[in-house]
């Protein structure tokens, strides 16, 4: 899938800098920027490497200052923001951008066309840039001048000119290498031609502004280190290549470029339809994360004569969102079916599910998987329950995986249920427990253990301690499924079926709100029901084993549709609530205060779609309705914000501006899973919709 921007679009800086591209490579590294080439976020960079220790992603190569020298003139092609101005204004020469698996930027100076393409190497922290000039006229000798601009800092931070950065470089064949800080990887840069010359000259590019960070209320200015400059002679129609990597690359960059381009960026046909496109987008999030094993002495200084070197292994993981999220347990399990089981990636889903099973501790799936020298965080009540749902999805899409279900997943499910029944404590106090009526309680006033976990001013914005509606729907689903598995494997029930029947009755008694046609409240706590209209109630209908009687299902769906449904997903709170926030904007606390108070989340469309299909008497009509709902995401939205992908969130109020991460795993995954369900429910209707939807 390609997006093409013409000259007027490229040079409309106000709009073009809001359109962002993303490249990933299967191991957590990425490259990202904007259509005009101006970095607007601290997370943008041409090489952002995921390293095991110190664990995290680091912006190594932020950008390049690029120009062409000839006829005693210099023409710049790069662009960055400084206080009060953009400089240099390379976007003014930009006439065409094509965003695909290796973005192409085309500039024009008179009768000379200059192109730049980027390619991030698969499973390797390396980027290659391909330059070419073309013209039909005679031209004076031209050379390409490139000044690398290095950030060399964690992607959540910013840097300033400092005396600790090691400025010395080592010249190598057609390039150089530099180790700015001893605890971070060496950067190797080299050109493909022996005529390339690198001249060391330490300097700082000061006061680079990132306008989106400023809008988000974060520090937004930094200094970038320039180790020197490349000068590379240019010959028309003879491409030159420049590589930046954390390990040495040989000088056969052209061969490496074409090998990588055709081996790894054509995993699926570019014009294979919307379903194929979403499967391709799923590759952004499925990664193998580098992790130091337990024998690695990563805390000790590494010297030349060290006898023990940390071993690095790769573990399967799901990046929750680009550019800044890590690997979250809840997000992994919600996204996994749409990214793998429903997307022709059975092996990847299997190995990831096995890895999650191994990470379960005292019945809990980590809320946040930590890599390298960090520890996992076990502070989620629902991640373990989403594990059960992910297993159900595996069985639905891949019924042949019975051995994995029996030998790995079933013991894990039993351990989760046993731990929840026993109760889980934190600092000596119960943090999760099942009461005498089988309702699952979680958290206290200081905790946020569900997916609505935002904090502002040190406290949960959406207090949901007690008995949240979706947690108990997930809890019932897990118990009912476990009883069926126990019967299948000739084992005793984990819970008396009569007790589960009583749980359904208790749930209805405490959560059902008979007004406005009937719906489910959000949290039962201390004998009181928070009757806010939120999307969490939809899971009481959508889950495979529903805790709510079928007679009430249509009421819940109708309430959600009337109060929460938008063209881009479900609102997290009804606009009729006094606490509703229609815009996600401002400083961090202001945004966090709106995060689950009306902000729209696309991932909820998966559950909403399932619930609607369950309750609809006219399946064909329900499919039509859901396809109409999804159309704006795949027409208007994927040409905006994160190009080719689906954002994390949208404003609750019109025009529902996109916000948050530009590419969110569960947004892509759940929309893809829903499309697969619609295709199964009404194949001809789906095929007709995709054929006429102008998403390409």
The secondary structure of residue 363, as a DSSP letter, is T
% residues pLDDT > 70 (the chain): 93
Each residue of 575-604: pLDDT tens digit?
999 999 999 998 898 999 999 999 999 999
Using pLDDT thresholds of 50, 70 and 90, give the confidence band for residue 429: confident
The DSSP line for 2-19 is -EEE-HHHHH-HHHHTT-
- CA distances 122 to 102, 119, 164, 374, Å, are 12, 9, 32, 25
pLDDT at 647: 96
**Euclidean distance between CA atoms 59 and 158, whole angstroms:** 10
Per-residue CA distances from 598 to 124, 310, 563, 649 (Å):
40, 47, 10, 10
* CA 536/CA 470 separation, integer angstroms: 5
Q: Which of 43-52, 188-197, 212-221, 422-431 has the least mean pLDDT?
A: 422-431
* Residue 268 scores a pLDDT above 50: no
Strand partners, 188: 177, 245
569-571, strands of its sheet edge to edge: 565-566, 569-571, 600-601, 649-650, 658-659
CA distance 295 to 103: 41
In this prediction, residues 439-444 reach a mean pLDDT of 94
Among residues 108, 105, 127, 125, the alpha carbon closest in space to that of 116 is found at 105
The SS3 of residue 563 is helix
| Phi and psi at residue 223, to the nearest 5° | -110, 140
Residue 655 has what pLDDT? 94
**Residue 583: DSSP 8-state:** -
pLDDT band at 379 (very low <50, low <70, confident <90, very high): confident
Q: Give the residue, 178 or 640, on which the prediction is more confident.
A: 178
Assigned token pair, 651:
């404003």
The confidence score (pLDDT) of residue 695 equals 55
For 273-302, the pLDDT digits (tens) are: 788 888 888 889 999 877 644 443 333 233
Question: Six-digit token pair at 672?
Answer: 């893809």
CA–CA separation, 464 and 165 (whole Å): 46
What pLDDT shows up at residue 694?
67
pLDDT at 249: 83
Distance between CA atoms of residues 447 and 309, nearest Å: 40
The CA-based diameter of the chain, rounded to the nearest angstrom, is 88
Band of residue 175 on the pLDDT scale cut at 50, 70, 90: very high
Instruction: Answer whether residue 310 shows pLDDT above 50.
Output: no
In 3-state terms, what secondary structure has residue 39? coil
Contact in structure between 24 and 317 (CB atoms under 8 Å): no
Give residues with Cβ within 8 angstroms of 669, minimum separation 6.
282, 285, 334, 335, 336, 337, 338, 339, 603, 606
Which residues are bridge partners to 55 per DSSP? 52
pLDDT of residue 311: 47
Average pLDDT over residues 109-115: 93
Percent of the chain, pLDDT > 90? 78
Q: How confident is the model at residue 137 (pLDDT cuts 50, 70, 90)?
A: confident
User: What sections of 529-604 are H helices per DSSP?
Assistant: 539-542, 553-563, 588-594
Residue whose pair of structure tokens reads 């005693």 in the numeric block? 72
Mean of all residue pLDDT scores within the chain:
91
Interval 501-538: pLDDT, tens: 999 999 999 999 999 999 999 999 999 999 999 999 99
Domains of the chain, start order: 3-264 (2.70.98), 564-696 (no CATH)
Residue 136, pLDDT score: 84
Is the Cβ–Cβ distance between 481 and 545 less than 8 Å?
yes
Distance CA 355, CA 351 (A): 6
The pLDDT score that the predictor gives to residue 72 is 86
Q: Is 271's pLDDT higher than 60?
A: no
**How do residues 6-39 score in pLDDT, each as one tens digit?**
999 998 999 999 999 999 999 999 999 999 999 9
Task: Tokens for 11, please give them.
Answer: 């040079």
């Amino acid at each position: 899938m390609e997006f093409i921007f013409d000259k007027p679009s490229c040079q409309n800086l106000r709009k073009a800098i809001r359109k962002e591209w993303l490249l990933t490579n299967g191991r957590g590294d990425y490259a990202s920027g904007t259509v005009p080439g101006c970095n607007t976020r601290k997370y943008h960079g041409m090489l952002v490497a995921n390293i095991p220790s110190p664990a995290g992603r680091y912006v190594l190569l932020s950008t390049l200052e690029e120009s062409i020298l000839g006829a005693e003139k210099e023409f710049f092609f790069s662009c960055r923001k400084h206080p009060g101005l953009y400089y240099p204004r390379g976007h003014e020469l930009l006439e065409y951008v094509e965003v695909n698996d290796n973005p192409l930027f085309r500039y024009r100076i008179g009768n000379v066309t200059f192109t730049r393409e980027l390619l991030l190497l698969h499973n390797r922290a390396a980027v290659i840039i391909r330059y070419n000039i073309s013209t039909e006229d005679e031209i004076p000798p031209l050379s390409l001048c490139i000044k690398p601009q290095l950030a060399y800092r964690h992607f959540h931070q910013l840097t300033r000119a400092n005396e600790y950065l090691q400025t010395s470089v080592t010249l190598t064949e057609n390039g150089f290498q530099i180790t700015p800080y001893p605890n971070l990887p060496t950067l190797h840069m080299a050109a493909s031609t022996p005529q390339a010359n690198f001249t060391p000259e330490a300097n700082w590019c000061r006061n680079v502004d990132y306008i989106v960070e400023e809008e988000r209320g974060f520090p937004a200015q930094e200094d970038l280190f320039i180790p020197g400059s490349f000068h590379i002679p240019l010959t028309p129609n003879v491409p030159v290549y420049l590589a930046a990597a954390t390990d040495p690359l040989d000088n056969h960059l052209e061969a490496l470029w074409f090998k990588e381009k055709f081996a790894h960026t054509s995993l699926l046909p570019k014009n294979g339809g919307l379903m194929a496109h979403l499967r391709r987008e799923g590759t952004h999030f499925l990664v193998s994360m580098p992790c130091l094993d337990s024998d690695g002495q990563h805390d000790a200084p590494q010297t030349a004569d060290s006898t023990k070197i940390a071993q690095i292994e790769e573990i399967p993981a799901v990046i929750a969102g680009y550019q800044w999220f890590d690997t979250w347990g809840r997000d992994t399990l919600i996204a996994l079916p749409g990214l793998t089981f429903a997307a022709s990636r059975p092996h990847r889903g299997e190995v990831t599910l096995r890895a999650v099973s191994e990470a379960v501790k005292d019945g809990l799936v980590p809320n946040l998987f930590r890599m390298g020298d960090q520890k996992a965080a076990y502070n989620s009540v629902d991640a373990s329950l989403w594990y059960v749902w992910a297993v159900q999805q595996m069985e639905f899409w891949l019924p042949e995986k019975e051995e994995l279900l029996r030998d790995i997943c079933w013991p894990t499910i039993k351990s989760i249920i046993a731990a929840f029944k026993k109760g889980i404590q934190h600092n000596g106090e119960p943090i999760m427990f099942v009461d005498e009526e089988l309702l699952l309680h979680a958290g206290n006033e200081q905790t946020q253990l569900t997916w609505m976990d935002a904090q502002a001013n040190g406290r949960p914005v959406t207090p949901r301690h007690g008995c949240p509606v979706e947690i108990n729907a997930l809890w019932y689903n897990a118990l009912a499924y476990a009883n069926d598995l126990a019967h299948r494997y000739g084992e005793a029930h984990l819970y008396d079926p009569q007790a589960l029947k009583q749980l359904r009755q208790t749930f209805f008694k405490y959560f059902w709100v008979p007004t406005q046609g009937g719906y489910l409240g959000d949290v039962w706590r201390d004998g009181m029901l928070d009757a806010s209209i939120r999307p969490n109630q939809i899971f009481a209908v959508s889950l495979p084993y529903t805790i709510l009687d079928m007679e009430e299902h249509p009421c819940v769906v109708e309430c959600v549709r009337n109060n929460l449904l938008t063209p881009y997903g479900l609102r997290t709170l009804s606009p009729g609530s006094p606490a509703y926030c229609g815009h996600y904007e401002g400083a961090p606390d202001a945004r966090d205060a709106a995060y689950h108070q009306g902000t729209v989340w696309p991932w909820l469309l998966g559950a909403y779609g399932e619930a609607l299909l369950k309750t609809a008497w006219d399946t064909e009509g329900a499919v039509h309705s859901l396809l109409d709902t999804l159309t704006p995401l795949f027409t208007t939205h994927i040409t905006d914000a994160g190009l080719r992908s689906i954002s994390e969130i949208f404003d609750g109020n019109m025009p529902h501006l996109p916000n948050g991460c530009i590419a969110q795993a569960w947004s892509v995954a759940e929309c893809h899973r829903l499309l697969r369900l619609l295709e199964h429910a009404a194949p001809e209707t789906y095929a007709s919709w995709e054929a006429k939807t102008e998403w390409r």
